[in-house]
Structure 1
């Protein structure tokens, strides 16, 4: 009888998060979806899992993916047209995930998540030189920085103190859902758990690039495991981004 009730009460969708603020689902402009057909399939799959809004965030990384506002808007519009043809009602908008390196600049129109929040990342191997100053500069420009997947940066595995200083400076943190499912390995999962325990995260996202990501994510959601791990945490995805006009 206990097993019957526990299965019945499992939450097997992700409507509790609702808005995915980090994904690589736009067609053919970075290391995510390679084409329009794949992008449409990803969107449909994410909608079936319970998302009602997606903010696509292709890389802007001059060395590998030198995207601009124009390339991103163009890819987003192509996907939106296909969604309209397929009667997909999910809301789609686009920002970007900026690599903070020597090429990062704020001298043109920025691809924000919602006109205010700017998603940034670093190399997984070493902290970006001057990252504290960059966070400050972003805020001076009137934006709020969002650090993507802090749990994945190997240089913070043994020392979280610098992450705490970023939080004190007003930087928001975004968790990759796959991190807590163990997809990136034990060390990443452990740091994610520690940051969750310390209430360091503000937001969560799929960071979905390809079918393997989608498969692990689907299993984690439909099994109820992801809700058990994160569903009561209180992420602010819907609070901050749920009213974006598309």
Structure 2
């Protein structure tokens, strides 16, 4: 992805109503070790270009962290948190959670981190059993769903799971997960679908209130009533 691609994506996000975004390149140990230091020059250049083009969107640094044994050591050493907060965006393999997932999550929370699981609706375990999402929340894990999931971009099963989790209010944030596929993150279009399956107060919670609390490093309720 080039700088021009990133600017175009951010411009389209802004047109969809997004005013702040956390950029989360992958961090996979020994594969994609993007971190604050290695991305800082590019991030600052992108901020400068946004100002030059008068785009009204503020960006923050973060990472999408692939869970691994002792990953908390990498988080601390490389500053992989979201926007310098205690919140971290995490993911694992789609076809199966690691056997020691519970242990890793416990260690992360004990060390003061607040994990947010990316795209829960895409994991086979949750597709087959929505209750696992509720169990993760009970373990102090937040859930962030892809807007593209509501539009069917990852298939009918994922779309069905996303809507089921939404109806049960088992979601705390929305994300783009663009990977340079701009059709995946028409927030305004996704919100129309979301509005058919939940109430306005909950939409405000997951699009405005919770993101603002995250950026301010404030506590967020795990259970959405």
Bin of the TM-score, shorter chain as denominator length: 0.7 to 0.9
**Structure 2: how far apart are the matches of 1:149 and 1:128?**
16
Match of 2:183 among 215, 221, 246: 215
Checking the alignment, whether the CA contact within 8 Å between 2:150 and 2:190 is kept in structure 1 is: no
Deviations 1:57-110 (A, max 9, x none): 110012431112212333211211111221223111111100013473434143
Q: Which residue of 2 aligns with 1:147?
A: 117
Measured after TM superposition, the shift of residue 218 of structure 1 is 3.2
The 5 A counterparts of 1:110-149 are 110-114=79-83, 115-149=85-119
**Structure 1: how far apart are the matches of 2:191 and 2:40?**
35
What is the TM-score with the length of structure 1 in the denominator?
0.76
Instruction: Give the count of matched residue pairs.
Output: 210
Q: Which residue of 2 aligns with 1:62?
A: 29
Give the number of the structure whose residues are more often helix, by fraction: 2
What is the TM-score with the length of structure 2 in the denominator?
0.83
The 5 A counterparts of 1:1-246 are 34-102=1-69, 104-106=71-73, 107-114=76-83, 115-211=85-181, 214-218=182-186, 221=189, 224-225=192-193, 227-229=195-197, 232=200, 233-234=202-203, 235-242=205-212, 244=215
**Structure 1: how far apart are the matches of 2:195 and 2:5?**
27
Structure 1: give runs of 5+ residues left out of the alignment.
1-33
Structure 2: give runs of 5+ residues left out of the alignment.
217-225
Deviations 1:113-165 (A, max 9, x none): 24111100011111123111111111111111101111101132222333322
